[in-house]
Structure 1
Amino acid sequence: MAVITCIEDLKRIHKRRAPKMFYDYAESGSYTEQTFRENSSDFAQIRLRQKVAVDMSGRSTATEMISQKVTMPVALAPVGLTGMQCADGEIKAARAAEAFGVPFTLSTMSICSIEDVATHTKAPFWFQLYVMRDEDFVDAIIERAKKAGCSALVLTLDLQILGQRHKDLKNGLSAPPKFTLPVLLDLATKWRWGLEMLGTPRRSFGNIVGHAKGVGDTSSLMSWTAEQFDPQLDWNKIARIREKWGGKLILKGILDAEDARMAADFGADAIIVSNHGGRQLDGALSAIRILPEIVAAVGDRIEIHMDSGIRSGQDVLKALALGAKSTFIGRAFIYGLGAMGQEGVKRALEVIHKELDITMALCGERDVKDLGRHNVLLPEGFTGQYK
């Protein structure tokens, strides 16, 4: 049994066990991948303030996200094709999140369907929606999420147009994979993954196949998906979706102070400061660098969450110190899932929780809700370098 001490350990095992096209799908950004890299490297510029001779007993990482109690301020982000990293991946990740006491967010582009995840879990999960041109499909999937008991809708705003990811094009990304010679040669070394996939019927986009008009199999799925992301998504359409949903609404993909103010004026329950993990607008600022500006713009008017670049509990602490109420992890839990299935997701959450707890103590804090700007040191110009 491998000794797992950090998220990087899980990443190495994930790379070894998952097919190349699915590992690359997770571990890539758009175009030059500048934003993808800086999402993580900008965290490294932030230093922590050590405090001593303080009582470090009785620590708590518990808090709330949109009024839901959580073990720590971390949710599992929506990640497409999660069920291709590991057989029944969304179900396994949701179960691990449920056991740990943090939210799981199911992607529209998941392999396991909304109904699959609801059947195999007890705690309500969140559902992430991509807005498609087909309004009937959008209305129907919202109703399916409501029927499944989803407790929040995470509406992604930054994928009206799909950013180009070179690796996906070169690998011929598809679900299930097309059996070209390079793919077959790769799969020959991934026998563990292959055996698990043979044991499940869930190998395509469960929320779409059989639910969208004209999509009855995988051959029609790829063309439908490429044409369906709605480039006309605006605040009027967001209002329509909010009315249709009627529950907690989180807006994901905010990377601009003006957009954050509009989201607050709109009355959403929360925003997620995010650049889609560097997978959309390459050259955009990292999420952690823009976070303080967005916090300054909207203050306490709306709950602020953050994702993109978080790989440790220290990263979580830094995001909280700069004003985020909570955080989301995507790749960090995907590494665990691809490495060890449900147990790997559990390990990823344990690693992040332990790092958050110990770092919080060494910064002189006993309650995660007390973290703030006083806990970190920023390099000159970190938040105002670009105008």
Structure 2
Amino acid sequence: MASTKDWFETVAEARERARKRLPKSVFLALHAGSEAGRTLADNTAAFAELGLRPRIADLPATREQATTVLGQEISMPVICSPTGVQAVDPGGEVAVAKAAAASGTAIGLSSFASKPIEDVVAANDKTFFQVYWQGSRDSMIARMDRAKQAGAKGLIVTLDWVFATARDWGAPPIPEKVDLKAAITFAPQVLVKPGWLARYVRTRRLPDLTTPNLAEAGAQGPTFFGAYGEWMGTQPPTWADLAWLREQWDGPFMIKGIYRPDDAKRAVDIGATAISVSNHGGNNLDSTPASIRALPGVANAVGDQIEVLLDGGIRRGSDVVKALALGAKAVLVGRAYLWGLAANGERGVHNVLEILRQGIDSTLYGLGRKSIHELSPEDVVVPGDFTRGM
């Protein structure tokens, strides 16, 4: 269907609409990658290096995309990745949860989210709660207990971050809280984006930069930067720490940030249910090759002992198919749905997910595959140096 005011045809169009709607600092915060942005760029460029091997006859009349991840049945192999404070739209994580539910898929909720987990689970019962190794063990247990009581179906532990915040192009200024001083400082950016401002005016609420899931239910929680500071100040975990964390959660358990085959095997050893091959969307150690380059080595190392997902650079349904053909069971998307959220709120997120669904379907058709479960490496043309020795 052709693009309209309320519908767009590609993720690239969602990004452009987000750029036009958002204040400059807010958009740059979504777009940012660490240091020179080499990994950010390679996450998407690597998919373009992979070719597809189409068929021309005996093509399937219908194609199946449904699968199961972390014990949850989903209608397509795409999950909304956990991302921090989603102040690009007043609906935030609740809007994302509703859109994912409408598309029959799951959402990962960041512990740095701006909406309480209780509200998000109410909007989508296929919610996984994401945590960092942050604070005391008692505080981690309290967060996990709250998530269990709210109905979270699984735990995602994010480990791919080295706090490299310096960027060659400059980091966008972001206030710690939205108060009078911040309003004055950012007024020149906000006033030239009346559509974004109008959304908040209609709700009679300012953008919320606090993290309610790091406090007791009903409490406001620290600011994003306060939470970030606690995370930075916590001693990094050992594998023994991660084994302990696994013991505290009696449901599905994913480790996000796996890149090396040996780390993937360690995740199996501690009893993880799933891993995500990820470089934090290009926001971790710059010059790390794209996630999709690391995927084959990780998938081959663990076989079917653990669910393998991929996170990073997904912009099209064909990208999803390439990832599945090289060993992923599903993918996590981040920037793509955030651009949809910024462009058109809940409907924009649903729009992005359906773009990916349509792209998966047409790619399966072209490859002559009736199901995502039939995909294999022979469906993809992989250059000889693609994995770069990983």
TM-score range, shorter chain: over 0.9
Give a deviation string over 1:64-107, Cα, whole Å, max 9, x none: 1123211111100011122x111121000000001111111101
User: Counterparts in 2 of 1:236-255, with a 5 A limit?
Assistant: 236-255=240-259
Gaps of 5+ in 1: none
**Does the CA-based 8 Å contact 1:111-1:206 persist in structure 2?**
yes
**Alignment correspondent of 2:158:** 156
Alignment of 1:281-360 (within 5 A): 281-360=285-364
* Structure 1 residue 196: Cα displacement: 2.4
Q: Please tell me whether the aligned partners of residues 271 and 305 of structure 1 are also in contact (alpha carbons under 8 angstroms).
A: yes
Q: Per the alignment, do residues 165 and 86 of structure 1 end up closer, same or farther by CA in structure 2, a change over 3 Å counting?
A: farther
Amino acid at match of 1:173: I
Supply the distance in 1 between the matched residues of 2:39 and 2:226 (Cα, whole angstroms): 28
- Find out whether 1:267 has 2:271 as its counterpart: yes
1:223 to partner: Cα distance:
4.1
Letter in 1 for 2:360: L
Does the 8 A contact of 1:21 with 1:168 survive in 2? no
In the alignment, does 2:173 pair up with 1:166? Answer: no
Q: 1:115 to 1:358 in 2, by over 3 A?
A: same
Shift of 1:227: 3.6
1:371 paired residue number? 375
Percent identity reads 33
**How big is the shift at 1:165?**
4.6
CA distance in 2 between counterparts of 1:69 and 1:268 reads 19
Look up the equivalent residue of 1:206 and give its one-letter code.
T
For each residue in 1:113-132, what CA deviation from the matched residue of structure 2 results, as whole angstroms up to 9, or x when unmatched?
2123234x152311111121
Secondary structure at the counterpart of residue 171 of structure 1: coil
Native 8 Å contact 2:318 2:363 kept in 1: yes
Match of 1:98 in 2: 101
CA RMSD, Structure 1 to Structure 2 (Å): 2.2
CA distance in 1, matches of 2:250, 2:345: 34
Please report how far the alpha carbon of residue 138 of structure 1 lies from its aligned counterpart in structure 2 after TM superposition.
1.6
Q: d(CA) in 1 for partners of 2:254 and 2:248?
A: 14
Determine if contact 2:112/2:227 at 8 Å carries over to the other structure: no
DSSP-derived class of the 1:38 partner = helix
CA-CA distance at 1:279 after TM superposition:
0.1
Distance 2:222 2:57 in 1: 63
Cα pair 1:108 1:127 within 8 Å, conserved:
yes
C-alpha change, 1:215 and 1:169, in structure 2 (3 Å) is: farther
1:1-387 aligned within 5 A = 1-2=4-5, 4-82=8-86, 84-119=87-122, 121-159=123-161, 161-166=162-167, 170-174=171-175, 176-177=177-178, 179=182, 183-198=186-201, 199=203, 200=205, 203-207=208-212, 211=216, 218=223, 222-229=225-232, 230-383=234-387, 385-386=388-389
Give the direction of change, closer, same or farther, for the CA distance of 1:122–1:318 in structure 2 (3 Å limit). Answer: closer
Q: Is the 8 A contact 1:112 1:202 kept in 2?
A: no
TM-score (norm 1): 0.92
Name the TM-score, length of structure 2 as normaliser. Answer: 0.91
Distance 1:368 1:175 in 2: 44
Secondary structure of 1:69's counterpart equals strand
Partners of 2:298 and 2:291 in 1: CA distance: 10
**2: CA distance between counterparts of 1:206 and 1:224?**
7
Q: Is the 8 A contact 1:305 1:325 kept in 2?
A: yes
- Structure 2 distance, partners of 1:55, 1:216, is 53
| Distance apart, 1:311 and its partner CA | 0.6
Give the CA deviation at 1:211.
4.4
Unaligned ranges ≥5, structure 2 = none
In the TM superposition, what whole-angstrom CA distance separates every residue of 1:321-374 from its partner, at most 9, and x where no partner exists? 111111111011011000000000010011000011001100111111101111
